[in-house]
Chains A and B, each alone.
Chain A
């Protein structure tokens, strides 16, 4: 008797454990809910600046009040590990319904089939409010040869130069305007003029050099990738070398760039910038927020427009909202996205993150064109943004972290020559890309 009951107990334990592991698969099945219960959506947001988190949460709250039948839960994520997190969640079937990310990451998830193609579902007013060139940054192959739209682009970043006004005026250089920007030559001259004693003209924080240099390389028509007969390869020719060489020259030939900043992340040199250790800091428009917030009293700074090579074109990536392929409520998710990204809210979000809205109406908002904190220059720079060629390259992420980041870091540390770096980017790079084109 005892024996039998012990066996039965053990069987129950085993059964329960078995169910516990098997039950994970259909998690979320109950989320479909009974009729009358509100639809529940999870919204993974990557907002991190204080104002931006507040703006995000406020919009979600407003939506939840206005739409009792579709309730959105705000889930906080982080840019540092969002893609690792999503890979795991997609594979496990627990991904959030609405996903905040950026366009370079979408390409991979789109071709892996994890994201919903939105092209036939977008409401007309949202579609027309965002220009086609922004939609191009989220249009990708679905892995089977069909093109689709895999997110709604809403915030864009352009590269500007943040400068110390006192040092800029003292050097007596021409002040550039969005209509008449500096050329790279003028920029180098200005940096040389501002280099005096232990003070430098410019600082290039190059801890993550790849996106920065690739986006700027378009100034001289450098695309870094070419696709012939459906096969993508890396290309480093004279156009690609221009910006690389010019930054390198500032560091080692002109010695007008602060070598201490080289290994730092974008925001790290700010204390030295406030101390007047260098005069100019090329950075994304969003860095203005930290400058405005952290600058000591009396520190005057200006935003200078993007530089001009043969053109002022810069590669654009955008932050995006996407819907998971496995979402139970894609239509409701898209309704939420349309509300979240209407012109009023986009202006709010852009202000919160100090980035540029893709919405045409939001960009004409008075708060986006004021002279204060360089918003006028920043917003004007949006016209230079074109689709970054690397966006459509399958395997770019691996190329970036395994090949390009170390190669460019070594090059900017003056450990290898421009020809070495070109050879590495192409030879090692093509090997990486091959894995994705089988």
Chain B
């Protein structure tokens, strides 16, 4: 609105044109002002997105002497019949659901604790946010050291010699722990903010009625937090299912594909085996699945809220 404020007064136009002209000029100004923000979005976000979607319906390969042609839904057919994809999809779902669930439970506990009147509460709150400040690659490297079979702190604490990240049955739980740890800060902070918004009067009111701690939590805290919980768990779910960097550093999808999340799978297809079209279809399919799951979840929550 600053642009209109500094504008010199326009010559007064004929009265009957005034309304339409002002409207169209406002629209034009809005577009002009939005353009600097829109151009990068269109160029670097929408453009590649559309290009990726288009690729999904071709047999594009990352090679120099391959003629790309339109193949319709061939990639989708191949995807749906590929065992690799389904096992990767299953792993992705186990990962996303368990990380999101555990993250929520742990973060809720931590948020409740940090909401209490503790000594050193400020310090504790800062410490709880520390993992947030680390890039996923650094977290991956750090936890790789924790899990190291010989020099790792975990094995020396437990007195064992387990190669956590190379064991077929332990690798996925091991990275889930890392995933929970990584995502806890933002979940905690959001829940803490939600907790601080719960009106005190409500607690006072039920205290008069003689409610205990558990009843207060169940009947006041949880219902009051519900919108925040819905928002943060759905965001967490999307973040987690699209997780790439952390797992790429920790296990590269090994051992034997036991931790090959869908995005790692797509990356491998595109950049190792060079099936760009197939990988694009994979990305597209995952996006559709996530949107569908999320849509269903949010729709149910909304309906309950009504």
A residues in contact (CB < 8 Å) with B? 2-3, 6-7, 10, 13-14, 17-18, 21, 83-84, 87-88, 90-91, 108, 111-114, 143-144, 207, 260, 263-264, 268, 271, 325, 395, 397-398, 401-402, 405-407, 409-410, 413, 415, 435
Contact = CB atoms under 8 A, between A and B. Distances in A.
B152 interface: no
Given A10-B35, A405-B256, A406-B255, 7 more contacts: A14-B39, A17-B39, A17-B40, A18-B43, A108-B274, A111-B63, A402-B257
B66 A112 contact: yes
13 contacts: A3-B25, A13-B39, A17-B40, A21-B44, A87-B62, A90-B64, A111-B63, A112-B65, A112-B66, A113-B64, A263-B166, A263-B167, A405-B254
A207 B149 CA distance: 13
B32 interface: yes
Interface string B21-62: 000010011001001100110011000000000000000011
A144 B65 contact: yes
Contacts of A144: 65
A401 B272 contact: yes
B64 A7 contact: no
Contact of B7 (A2, A87, A112, A260): A2
B39 A87 contact: no
B84 interface: yes
A2 B161 CA distance: 73
A435 B274 CA distance: 12
B36 A409 contact: no
B149 A268 contact: yes
Contacts of B36: 10, 13
Contacts of B272: 83-84, 87, 397-398, 401
Contacts of A88: 271
A264 B62 CA distance: 33
A435 B273 CA distance: 10
A397 B273 contact: yes
B204 interface: no
A14 B37 CA distance: 10
A151 B182 CA distance: 44
**Nearest 5 Cβ contacts at the A-B interface:** A406-B256, A112-B63, A113-B64, A113-B65, A263-B166
Q: Name the residue among B25, B84, B161 with the largest chain A CB count within 10 angstroms.
A: B84
B150 interface: yes
B36 to A, nearest CB: 6
B50 to A, nearest CB: 14
